[in-house]
Amino acid sequence: MSVVLRNAQRAVPVRRAPLRRAVCALRAALGAARFDVGLVCAGNGLMRRLNSAYRQSPEPTDVLSFPFHQLVAGELPRPRCRDDYNLGDIFLGVEYIHQQCCDTGEDFDSVLAVTAAHGLCHLLGYQHNTKLEWQQMYQKEAEILEELNRLTGASLRPLTAGLF
């Protein structure tokens, strides 16, 4: 299945091919390679509007996920028709992420991949509202990033490190 990547901003250059490869590898590590995923690289304006509309927080953010299915953490969808082979959409706040990377000195492309992993976990029902949920999500992120690290030689860590 496919990863549809759209760059809806012009503020920050995005290397699409490595990001698409990372998302494909992460999706496979989750056992969801047969499902479509939409990935939108967004600027601060769009992220602010989406965050305000869906989370009542009028600031830009790094990632917002919009699952197609309502799932229990770690559960895969059970498609009944072709349209059900869709995990949902991930909006990456690339302008926000780029600014954070400039402030911390972290590699932008690496942080994009880690943020996409976080978004994919949300599409599969993982949350981080409680300590237990965070532990489950952190474990899953670490697991799929370990597989991506194995494939690429990188040393990526979960986005939710140190949340609780």
* CATH code of the domain made up of 3-152: 3.40.390.30
pLDDT tens for 123-154 read 999 999 999 999 999 999 999 999 999 999 99
Tell me which H or E stretch contains 138: helix 131-152
Q: Check residue 74 and give its pLDDT.
A: 85
Query: For the chain, what are the domain ranges?
Result: 3-152
SS3 14: coil
pLDDT at 163: 65
Look at residue 164 in the predicted model and tell me its pLDDT. Answer: 64
Whether the Cβ atoms of residue 46 and residue 91 lie closer than 8 Å to each other: yes
pLDDT at 40: 98
In this predicted model, what pLDDT tens digit does every residue of 32-90 receive, in sequence order? 999 999 999 999 999 999 999 999 999 999 999 999 999 999 899 999 999 999 999 99
The 8-class DSSP code of residue 16 comes to H
Residue of 77, 146, 152, 95 lying closest to 117 (CA atoms) = 146
Torsions phi, psi for 58 (to 5 deg): -80, 35
Rounded Cα gap, residues 27 and 106, in angstroms: 24
pLDDT band of 4, cuts 50, 70, 90: very high
**C-alpha distances in angstroms, 18 versus 22, 52, 59, 113, 129?**
6, 30, 28, 9, 31
